[in-house]
Amino acid sequence: MIVALIDSGLGMLPTAAWLRRLRPDLDLLLQADPDGAPWGPKPTEWVIDRVLDTARQALRLGAEVIVLPCNTASVTALEHVRAEVGPQVPVIGTVPAIKPAAAVCSTVAVWATAATTASSYQADLIARFGGDADVTGVACHGLADAIDRGDLDAVEAAIAAAVAQTPPGTEGVVLGCTHYPLVVDAIVAALPPAVRLFDSAEAVAAQTLRRIDALGRPAGGSGTVTVVNSGRPGELPASAAAYESGRLLGRVVAREG
């Protein structure tokens, strides 16, 4: 069984790493879009068309399950992809971990791209799952793009700007973009020591496996990982391989175990 993961860039890696850790036999198809990245600032219809085209390619390449480990793609295109591929192909989106954060923290900041922060989708999630917590959206301008480029100076500058927008006394920060866990060490270093971080990669991977099990078909494979960049065979960006262990890609590899 081939599981396709669709994102503009490296944000798919945390979810892919959890799938590898939980089910190393699965064959993964990583579909990145360096030609169109970043998706966050793009018009909604552009993102929908881009994600739909990638989903169609996933089916042509044999995918039986599609995962959108990208908050922007999930906010704008999830229901469109589900309508396109039909009920026989599970499509799993990504939801910021607002509910678990609000359950244990009285003040929460949701770090996300500008598009996700401004979306009615995130506002609805906060209204539904924020409970009694005071939840604030923080737009992290340029952070996902800097991660994709491997520009660590720009990463640190974007994190510093996000920290400055985060209300004093915030108890929990939700990483509302799947790129952000890749720089979790830098985020931890920039935030006050008592702040708790929440991300959704493990939960998305677990939900993917539940949907696979519900298909009732043999799911085992050879553990192959195939990378497709903007519709063509490719590799992950060269900068990814150079990141320090515990900072970006090295952290994901370590989590694969």
Do strands 2-6 and 27-32 pair parallel, antiparallel, or not at all (unpaired)? parallel
Say if residues 35 and 10 touch (Cβ distance below 8 Å): no
Compute the residue count for the chain: 257
Whose tokens are 């920060």? That residue is 173
pLDDT, block means (10 residues), the chain with 257 residues: 92 90 92 89 93 96 96 92 96 94 98 89 94 97 89 95 97 95 94 95 95 87 88 64 35 34
Helix (H) or strand (E) holding 27: strand 27-32
Q: What is the pLDDT of residue 79?
A: 95
| Three-point CA angle 131, 137, 142, nearest 5° | 150
Active-site residue, selected from the candidate residues 19, 47, 175, 177: 177
Q: Is 70 a catalytic residue?
A: yes
Query: Strands of 196-198's sheet, edge to edge?
Result: 134-139, 107-112, 172-175, 196-198
- Classify residue 102 by burial, with Cβ atoms within 10 Å: 0-12, 13-18, 19+: buried
Among 89, 71, 193, 88, smallest CA distance to 137 is for 71
With contact defined as beta carbons under 8 Å apart, do 92 and 55 qualify?
no
Query: Which candidate in 70, 91, 109, 133 is catalytic?
Result: 70
- 216 by Cβ neighbours in 10 Å (0-12 / 13-18 / 19+) ranks as exposed
CA distances from 210 to 23, 84, 92, 101, 136 (A): 12, 22, 10, 23, 31
Whole-prediction pTM = 0.86
Spatial distance between the Cα atoms of 19 and 29, rounded to a whole number of angstroms: 12
Is 105 in the active site?
Answer: no
State residue 245's pLDDT score. Answer: 29
**What pLDDT does 247 receive?**
37
pLDDT value of position 133:
98
Classify residue 106 by its DSSP letter: S
Ordered domains of the chain (ranges, CATH): 2-94+202-251 (3.40.50.1860), 97-199 (3.40.50.1860)
Tell me the one-letter amino acid at 110: V
Q: Angle at Cα 17 formed by Cα 14 and Cα 20, nearest 5°?
A: 155
Q: Which of 82, 112, 91, 121 is nearest to 198 (CA)?
A: 112
